[in-house]
Amino acid sequence: MHVADLAEAHINALDYLRNGGASDFLNLGTGHGYSVLEVIECARQVTGRPIPIRVEGPRPGDPAKLVADATRARTVLGWQPTMSDLPSILRSQWAWRQKHPRGYAPE
């Protein structure tokens, strides 16, 4: 999920509460999960760089699949992710990293 979509959902939640909405738990997500290998392959395509991997077995307790269902957030908050397809997220992150190679450290 893109940080801009996450921020928008939080703003919508604050507006909802300010307008008398009840406090509740809502999942935020796209409803689409990606495997680690899918993320790595997409990152390779976006950056044009090789990303070495080492395949390991799952850790104890790791779920086989985990995907957030944001149906209630869409209904209650009127929220819809707009930038949260994987290539868009990674392009955005890569553009930011290119512009700020030291992250938030002083230049």
CATH of the domain at 91: 3.90.25
- The number of domains in the chain is 1
For the chain of 107 residues, list the mean pLDDT of each consecutive stretch of 10. 95 97 94 93 98 94 91 95 92 96 87
Task: Examine residue 27 and state whether it is found in any structural domain, yes or no.
Answer: yes
Task: Examine residue 46 and state whether it is found in any structural domain, yes or no.
Answer: yes
Separation between Cα atoms, residue 45 and residue 72, nearest integer Å: 33
Query: Count of alpha carbons within 13 Å of 4, Cβ hemisphere only?
Result: 10
Separation between Cα atoms, residue 6 and residue 70, nearest integer Å: 12
Enter the tokens of residue 5: 């979509």
Task: Examine residue 84 and state whether it is found in any structural domain, yes or no.
Answer: yes
Separation between Cα atoms, residue 17 and residue 10, nearest integer Å: 11
Task: Examine residue 105 and state whether it is found in any structural domain, yes or no.
Answer: no
Residue numbers of the domain that contains 77: 3-56+66-99
Task: Examine residue 106 and state whether it is found in any structural domain, yes or no.
Answer: no
Query: Count of alpha carbons within 13 Å of 14, Cβ hemisphere only?
Result: 5
Query: Count of alpha carbons within 13 Å of 68, Cβ hemisphere only?
Result: 14
Q: What is the pTM of this model?
A: 0.81
pLDDT at 103: 92
